[in-house]
């Protein structure tokens, strides 16, 4: 198994909004859906997946364990609840959503429980999200032969996470970029707009193509059909070395970070 390079993110999408978005995305050809226990939309996604009539084998489904379910028993039971909501017997990928360095449940417990969930067949693959370099090193030590399928982290043109990327690529750890469009900021960026014009593309397509060109998976989200359709086309966009140099210069470091909850975040690299 591998993680698809392109999928649909569902963060902040709820109720009929997530139903309509997933329904539209599936109709356009999306086949990877990313959700999480903390998003509160697993049941709605499961409803749409079932009504779609698509074979289960065609859908790559990712969910994430929220911190309050990190204890062994809670992790296993909550993942089963997620499966019930999603109306599947197994998800393709389950991630630890945040490392919560100062939490009561230690990585040894929740990562071991995650591996147990895989052994029980609740999930095909396991991984992590928002882990820094030290967290990845520790996770690999705890999991041993259990492979980390991906580390899902915030990466966009203004936060390029270069230290983590360098480590991950050197060590063969796959990365998934979330918030690749910097919550829409890329659309108004003059550099990205200029690159987009040169390719008859959109700034969003440029940002997504930039991320995929580095080997990251991307999971952009939109509630508009035209944006969902446009984002798909980013998979066919190839940027030049000059384009990449110009995007590299957009890096703003930690000041550009969007997602960083005080209680759950690690010490970012």
Mind telling me the catalytic residues? 39
Q: Cβ(23)–Cβ(52) under 8 Å?
A: yes
Would you say 97 is a known binding-site residue?
Answer: yes
Q: Which residues contact 226 (CB under 8 A, 6 or more apart)?
A: none
Torsion angle of alpha carbons 44, 48, 51, 57, nearest 10°?
Answer: -120
Concatenating the DSSP letter of every residue in 90-157 gives -EEEEEE----TTSSS-HHHHHHHHHHHHHTTSEEEEEEES--HHHHHHHHHHHTTS-EEEEEEE-BT
184: nearest Cα among 157, 163, 162? 157
Please give the annotated binding residues, written as ranges: 97
């Amino acid at each position: 198994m591998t993680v698809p390079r392109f999928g649909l993110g569902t963060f902040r999408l709820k109720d009929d909004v997530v139903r309509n978005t997933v329904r539209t995305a599936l109709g356009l050809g999306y086949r990877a859906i990313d959700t999480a226990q903390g998003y509160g939309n697993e049941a709605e996604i499961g409803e749409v997946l079932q009504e779609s009539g698509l074979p289960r084998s065609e859908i790559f489904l990712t969910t994430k364990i929220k911190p309050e379910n990190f204890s062994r028993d809670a992790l296993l039971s909550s993942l089963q609840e997620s499966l019930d909501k999603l109306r599947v017997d197994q998800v393709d990928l389950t991630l630890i959503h945040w490392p919560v360095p100062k939490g009561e449940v230690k990585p040894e417990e929740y990562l071991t429980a995650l591996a147990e969930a895989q052994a029980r067949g609740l999930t095909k693959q396991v991984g992590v999200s928002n882990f820094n370099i030290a967290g990845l090193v520790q996770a690999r030590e705890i999991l041993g032969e259990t492979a980390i399928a991906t580390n899902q982290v915030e990466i966009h043109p203004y936060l390029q996470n270069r230290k983590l990327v360098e480590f991950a690529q050197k060590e063969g750890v796959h990365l998934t970029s979330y918030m690749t469009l910097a919550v829409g900021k890329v659309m108004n960026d003059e550099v990205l707009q200029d690159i987009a014009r040169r390719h008859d593309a959109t700034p969003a397509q440029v940002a997504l193509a930039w991320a995929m060109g580095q080997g990251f998976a991307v999971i952009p989200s939109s509630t508009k059909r035209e944006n969902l359709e446009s984002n798909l086309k980013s998979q066919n966009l190839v940027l030049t070395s000059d384009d990449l140099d110009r995007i590299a210069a957009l890096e703003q470091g930690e000041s550009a970070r969007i997602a960083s909850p005080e209680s759950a975040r690690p010490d970012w690299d």
